[in-house]
């Protein structure tokens, strides 16, 4: 592959950097380092004295001292006496350069490197992206547009429902929050935010979502989505009668052909449909029962317990949900972290404590 050529080249340079000095035959420099240093100092003192920078008696004292050090340095002689030449030593050092450098480098790079990966500069990646038309890249383009211009209302309006569609509920919440920031409080976007919150909580109308729907309804009492989810909230609280009343109310203003009307009727049917334990509900009930049995056998699955509580809540079986909470607490007694999670979930679902 192409990359191995420059890698070989770089390695060659590194090896050469070690071998070159080893090959030189020159002797040690004869510096007489100390002697020169103290001589330089003597001239320096004389120069300073001549220019009147230091008092004559100071200069004399300094000179005497420097001279003393100079003498000592001359007596001890140059320190740079050379050791005996040894071919073995140079070979050893050369071996370090010739073998160890490439081995260390290639071993580390072999483990950590990715020689087959090409560069991927942004501009190139963008060009690749432009040519594709799938939903993901379309969304990405909108997202980039929004990152650059976070105040683009239209962009947020386009992307928010798409987020709901592709189940990116948390992003949908953020998108609706942006819309609320830009457009000011309005019923439609509050409803959208609420719906996203509900979907993010696996269908449970959390207390946070309920507050958002209340805000929507305060602005516009006819907002259908907000009314629909508020009714579901009642359902989940176990207030079947209240929920049914709300659904009926909603149907009154709707033409039969409206799609929402169908959804509401189905919901009502299911509510009344203790009489109709077939279809989806029955299937869910079956799955819940299975989960329940599993947790009874092995109670260590924290998320399982939360799911079970939620499921009973969604099925409107509050008594069962509360029973699940008691059992979960017992099972989690040894884990303070698990207990906290269970309690938090229970609080979110609106019971416990």
Contact call for residue 272 and other proteins (CB under 8 A): no
Q: How far apart are CA 260 and CA 262, in angstroms?
A: 5
Say whether residue 298 binds other proteins (CB under 8 A).
no
Q: Is 50 in the site for other proteins (CB under 8 A)?
A: no
User: In the complex, what is the shortest distance from the CB of residue 126 to other proteins, in angstroms, rounded to a whole number?
Assistant: 8
With beta carbons less than 8 A apart as the criterion, state whether 18 and 101 touch. yes
Q: Is 39 in the site for other proteins (CB under 8 A)?
A: yes
- Name residues contacting other proteins, limited to 106-145 (CB under 8 A): 108-109, 112-115, 117-123, 125, 129, 140, 143-144
Binding segment for other proteins (CB under 8 A), chosen from 186-194, 232-240, 323-331, 332-340, is 332-340
Q: Is 336 in the site for other proteins (CB under 8 A)?
A: yes
Does 248 participate in binding other proteins (rule CB under 8 A)? no
Nearer to other proteins, 21 or 221 (CB): 21
71 touches other proteins (CB under 8 A): no
Report 200-229 residues binding other proteins (CB under 8 A).
200
With respect to other proteins, which residue has the nearer C-beta, 40 or 283? 40
> Among all chains, which residue has been given the structure tokens 């609280």?
237
Judged by CB under 8 A, the residue of 37, 240, 307, 322 near other proteins is 37
Tell me the three state secondary structure of residue 166: coil
Asked whether position 330 contacts other proteins by CB under 8 A, the answer is no
Q: Given candidates 40, 50, 272, 283, which one binds other proteins under the rule CB under 8 A?
A: 40
CB 323 within 8 A of CB 351: no
Residue 174 CB, nearest approach to other proteins (Å):
8
Cα–Cα distance for residue pair 342/327, rounded to 1 Å: 11
Residue 150 C-beta-side C-alpha neighbours within 13 Å? 8
* Closer residue to other proteins in complex, CB, 181/318: 181
Alpha helices in the chain (DSSP H): 4-23, 33-50, 56-76, 87-95, 101-112, 122-131, 135-148, 153-165, 169-183, 187-200, 207-219, 224-237, 240-252, 259-272, 279-297, 302-314, 318-331, 336-349
Q: Which is nearer to other proteins, 13 or 297 (CB)?
A: 13
Site size toward other proteins (CB under 8 A) is 87
15-34 binders of other proteins (CB under 8 A): 17-18, 20-24, 26-34
Nearer to other proteins, 204 or 231 (CB): 204
Any residues with CB less than 8 A from the CB of 286 and at least 6 apart, and which?
none
Spatial CB neighbours of 60, under 8 Å, sequence gap ≥ 6: none
In this chain, which of 46, 154, 170, 300 binds other proteins, going by CB under 8 A?
Answer: 170
Rounded CA gap, 109 and 103, in Å? 10
Enter the tokens of residue 282.
């029955």
Judged by CB under 8 A, does residue 64 bind other proteins? no
């Amino acid at each position: 592959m192409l990359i191995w050529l420059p890698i070989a080249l770089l390695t060659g340079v590194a090896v050469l950097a070690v071998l070159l000095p080893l090959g030189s035959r020159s002797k040690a420099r004869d510096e007489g380092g100390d002697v020169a240093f103290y001589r330089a100092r003597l001239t320096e003192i004389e120069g300073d004295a001549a220019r009147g920078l230091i008092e004559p008696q100071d200069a004399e004292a300094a000179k005497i001292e420097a001279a003393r050090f100079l003498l000592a340095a001359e007596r001890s002689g140059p320190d740079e006496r050379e050791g005996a030449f040894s071919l073995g030593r140079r070979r050893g050092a050369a071996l370090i350069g010739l073998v160890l450098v490439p081995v260390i480098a290639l071993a580390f790079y072999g483990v950590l490197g990715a020689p087959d990966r090409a560069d991927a500069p942004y501009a190139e990646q963008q060009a690749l992206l432009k040519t594709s038309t799938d939903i993901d890249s379309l969304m990405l383009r909108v997202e980039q547009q929004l990152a650059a211009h976070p105040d683009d209302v239209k962009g947020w309006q386009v992307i928010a429902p798409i987020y709901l569609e592709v189940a990116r509920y948390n992003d949908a919440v953020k998108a609706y929050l942006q819309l609320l920031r830009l457009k000011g409080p309005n019923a439609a976007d509050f409803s959208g935010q609420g719906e996203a919150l509900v979907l993010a909580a696996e269908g449970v109308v959390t207390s946070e979502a309920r507050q958002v729907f209340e805000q929507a309804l305060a602005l516009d009492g006819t907002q259908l989505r907000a009314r629909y989810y508020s009714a579901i909230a009642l359902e989940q609280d176990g207030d079947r009668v209240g929920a049914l009343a709300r659904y009926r109310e909603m149907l009154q203003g709707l033409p039969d052909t409206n799609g929402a009307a169908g959804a509401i009727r189905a919901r009502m049917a299911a509510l009344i449909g203790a009489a109709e334990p077939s279809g989806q509900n029955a299937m869910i009930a079956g799955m819940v029962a299975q989960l329940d049995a599993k947790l009874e056998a092995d109670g260590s699955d924290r998320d399982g317990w939360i799911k079970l509580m939620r499921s009973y809540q969604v099925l409107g079986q509050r008594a069962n949900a509360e029973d699940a909470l008691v059992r979960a607490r017992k099972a989690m007694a040894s884990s303070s972290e698990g207990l906290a999670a269970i309690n938090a979930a229970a609080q979110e679902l609106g019971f416990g404590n």
